Chains A and B, each alone.
Chain A
């Protein structure tokens, strides 16, 4: 109940009171509407109701600002109004019940004391009312007998309550004082310093826990004894007494002094102490109080703290060094990611220099026999080639290499410094550690310091650590270099050693490995002579690097050659390759491929594009044009993709440029920008394929290499001239190419269709012989050359095998055909091979009626 009033704020209480007043007034008015006693005085009751409503209005409107005591008074006023209403209504009514509402409100909203006060007031009012109405009634007598003591009792109890609070306050203060004293005691006892008080004679009156700890005497033992005998060493007691007397005699109520003194423990040990002593005079009493500090303890603590600080500093330094070392590790790792031991060594030198705070650092490398050192890298920029090899045992580095022990030197003799770059420096101290791999000295790391830096033995450990790092990095780098060379060799083996000579076509290719790549690239290109003349151009890119990519390139290259030589259409060739990649390649291995077959006789390029950048046709109709049609998905992403063959005219003199994305990919730029750049550069480029390759690489690829590998293949449909010389592979499949070349050349020379066919047949016979002779010629290519002298065609077929006299029968027919079809046939066998020279005068459109 007590807590209840606190749940409501004053505004709620005020409004509730306003409702109570209104309700009371309303009820009073409602009762007047019913039949009632004549004694009821209506005008007075209506007036009372009006007053109640007015008060309610004021309270309601002022609810925001009203105060608690004002509410208490208003409620009392309500009791008064009710009493008057009771008086005017007379005895017959039930009006006194309204007192209950008032009391309920008071109990509900007011503190208990106030509520009881209201109830007492109600009781008083009602008693007065009853007395006025019927002085003689027994109720009045009861009330006077009982009610008055109740009221008086309430008043008295209220009074007593007030007194009780005051008594409680005094008791609280006393308790607080005791607590304060206890706290003071606690503080004194927990103080790290000893706290001692004495009287004017030096008799101990207070002895805290720290004093017990410091001197070894308990409070019980110490209190009541003279301080001088307890803690002052004998020879200082006289001086102690003088000081005490001087302090007591000082003027003023309080005096404080700080003393350094020698103190003595119970066990006789002495220590340096410091005392802050105060003298207080209270009346006649003199109190001397002192805080005593053990200076040795403090010294020890200070030393401890210094030690801690030193340890922290050392740890911080160690962490800094560790960070640098790991930074150097990262440096080493970064260096490993790119080829070139020199670069790695330069990075290591810089890293070592930084980690050790050295003024100079040099890495010497040992030769494989372990006899000589040469400079690998120097912070002084000494070029390795400028210094003669240093024998083991010579100079500091050489001695460190020979002894396999670290060397430390102060003010070294400059003659012992084999890095000439160091001679410019004033060297104060020098450290050299050999580093070993698999038990052999592979080099020496030498660091130098100029004043004020000076190396200490501590630095040696660090340098050894650095040396281990360097050794690791160098052996990694050497392994890496070897592997890189292997990888490069492998890659070169996957690219054609030399491009075939193709009748009527000129091709050139370039491969530029990426600037900073360790692995073998997956780019490859190939040029395949196509049966029936023409060339198959291959440009592919296997996603990924390393041996897996390289072996995929190898397989694709062989497979593509096989399919192409079988005479399949480009689309079929690419479909077969897709099946190979889909069924056999590792998951997610993706290959882009562009396969173009150029037929110079027909002047047509036919291509299939499996997700590769489009080839660029130069010198067709109009400017450079990307052959963008027919691009389908890369190989290996679908089992049965649709590869469509596209074709474009390729006039004599026009050229094709095939490339991998490394050529057109510029970091940060869109691929279209790269393509535009390529098209732009091609406009001013030379026509000759080899020069075109060089020009494009020179203008499009950064000096230090592109971010990705670049493969570039250019082909030109050579304009026909009056002479040619082409090597053909020693294989039956080469014959059709050779015939295609000859037909094109002869037609260009003005030969009629029948002449062209007959000369081609004759030359084919010569070539067939050349292929048959090659059995002992080691498969060397045969050479076909042609010249026009005025109207005379002069073709020579030269092989490097052994001439076999044609037998009668099948093989003899070749020679008969040659003789029948040509004007002259000369066969010249030599020890190196055989040359067949065929000549015939063209008669132009002679016989120009038969089919080709």
Chain B
């Protein structure tokens, strides 16, 4: 499923929902992609992993989306974890905005899932 330049795949690993993003995440698709991910997480899920391993680009609107997800999951007592390639452009952006304060960031998806599960 694509929203603008962003591709989104939802996968369930036990009680954890994994949302994998591809392409470029910017203001053109961020808000709508955030809504889709929120809709894909049932209240029964333990938490959500946002997989950014294959995302080529993310700007501040992507960060805003992630902060938004962290807030909405927190209110439902669900946990959020993010996976991104270390030292990549996405990782660098997450680092600059100190996203770690909102949710843990891992270097691979398995670690992120393990963090929640």
Which positions in A face B, CB cutoff 8 Å?
Answer: 531-532, 567, 732-733, 735-736, 739, 754, 757-758, 760-761, 764-765, 768, 771, 810-811, 813-814, 816-817, 820-821, 847, 849-852
**What residues on A are CB-neighbors of B57 within 8 Å?**
739, 757, 760-761, 764
Whether the pair B26, A736 counts as a contact (CB closer than 8 A) is yes
Besides A736-B24, A814-B60, A817-B93, 6 more A-B contacts (Cβ < 8 Å) are: A736-B28, A754-B92, A768-B59, A810-B67, A849-B87, A851-B56
Asked if B28 and A757 sit within 8 Å, CB to CB, the answer is: no
Q: Which residue from chain B places its CB closest to the CB of A819 in the assembled complex?
A: B96
Contact among A735, A814, A820, A850 for B88, CB-based, below 8 A: A850
Instruction: Report how far A113 CA is from B83 CA in the complex, Å.
Output: 140
Residues of A within 8 Å of B88, CB to CB, are 757, 850-851
> Quick one: closest A residue to B63, CB to CB?
A813
A735 touches B28 (CB 8 A): yes
Is there a chain A Cβ closer than 8 Å to B4's Cβ?
Answer: yes
Query: What is B's interface to A at a CB cutoff of 8 Å?
Result: 2, 4-5, 24, 26-28, 56-57, 59-61, 63-64, 67, 85, 87-89, 91-93, 96-97
Nearest residue (CB) in A for B53 is: A851
Task: Output the nearest chain B residue to A531 by Cβ-Cβ distance.
Answer: B5
B68 CB, nearest partner CB in chain A, Å: 8
Q: Within the assembled complex, what's the spacing in Å between the Cα atoms of A567 and B6?
A: 10
Q: Inter-chain contact count A-B, CB under 8 Å?
A: 85
Asked if B87 and A768 sit within 8 Å, CB to CB, the answer is no
Nearest chain B CB to A725's CB is how many angstroms away?
22
Q: Report B67 CB to chain A, min CB distance, Å.
A: 7
A residues in contact with B92, CB < 8 Å: 754, 757-758, 761, 821, 850
Q: Check A817/B5 contact, CB under 8 A, given A732-B27, A764-B26, A810-B67.
A: no
Hey, which chain B residues are within 8 Å of A852, CB to CB? 56, 89
Contact status A768-B27, CB under 8 Å: yes
Most buried by A among B24, B60, B64: B60
Contact in complex: B87, A817 (CB < 8 Å): no
Q: Say whether A817 contacts B97, CB under 8 Å.
A: yes
Q: Are A739 and B60 in contact (CB under 8 A)?
A: no
Asked whether A810 and B87 contact (CB < 8 A) given A735-B26, A736-B28, the answer is: no
Residues from chain B with a CB closer than 8 A to the CB of A532 are 5, 24
> How far, in Å, is A758 (CB) from chain B's closest CB?
6
Q: Which 10 interchain pairs have the tightest Cβ spacing?
A: A757-B89, A732-B28, A810-B64, A820-B96, A814-B60, A813-B60, A850-B88, A850-B87, A732-B27, A851-B88
Residues A816 and B96 in contact in the complex (CB < 8 Å), given A736-B26, A757-B89: yes
Q: How far is the CB of A110 from chain B (nearest CB, A)?
A: 117
Instruction: Indicate if the CB atoms of A765 and B60 lie closer than 8 Å.
Output: yes
Q: How far is the CA of A849 from the CA of B88 in the complex (A)?
A: 8
Residues of B within 8 A of A758 (CB): 89, 92
Chain A contacts for B4, CB-based, 8 A: 531, 567, 732-733
B26 / chain A contacts, CB cutoff of 8 Å? 732, 735-736, 764, 768
| Distance between Cα atoms of A565 and B87 in the complex (Å) | 32
A816 pairs with B97, CB closer than 8 A: yes
When distances are taken between beta carbons in the complex, the residues of chain B under 8 Å from A849 are 87
A757 to B96, CA, bound (A): 14
A735 to chain B, nearest CB (A): 5
List of A residues within 8 angstroms of B61 by Cβ:
768, 810
Give the CA-CA distance A810 to B87 in the complex, in Å. 23
Which of B56, B59, B96, B97 touches A764 (beta carbons < 8 Å)?
B59
Q: How far is the CB of B105 from chain A (nearest CB, A)?
A: 15
A761 and B5 contact, Cβ closer than 8 Å, known pairs A732-B26, A813-B97, A850-B87 = no
* Chain A residues whose C-beta falls within 8 Å of the C-beta of B89 in the assembled complex: 754, 757-758, 761, 850-852
Q: Which A residue sits closest to B88, measured CB to CB?
A: A850
Smallest beta-carbon distance A597→chain B, Å: 14
11 A-B residue contacts at CB 8 Å?
A733-B28, A761-B89, A764-B26, A768-B26, A771-B27, A813-B60, A813-B64, A814-B59, A817-B59, A850-B91, A851-B85
B2 to A817, Cβ gap below 8 A? no
**A766 → chain B, closest Cβ, in Å?**
10
CB distance from B46 to the nearest CB of A (A): 27
Taking A768-B26, A850-B85 as contacts, is the C-beta distance between A736 and B59 under 8 angstroms?
Answer: no
List B contacts of A768 (CB < 8 A). 26-27, 59-61
> Which residue of chain A lies nearest to B65 when distances are taken between CB atoms in the complex?
A810
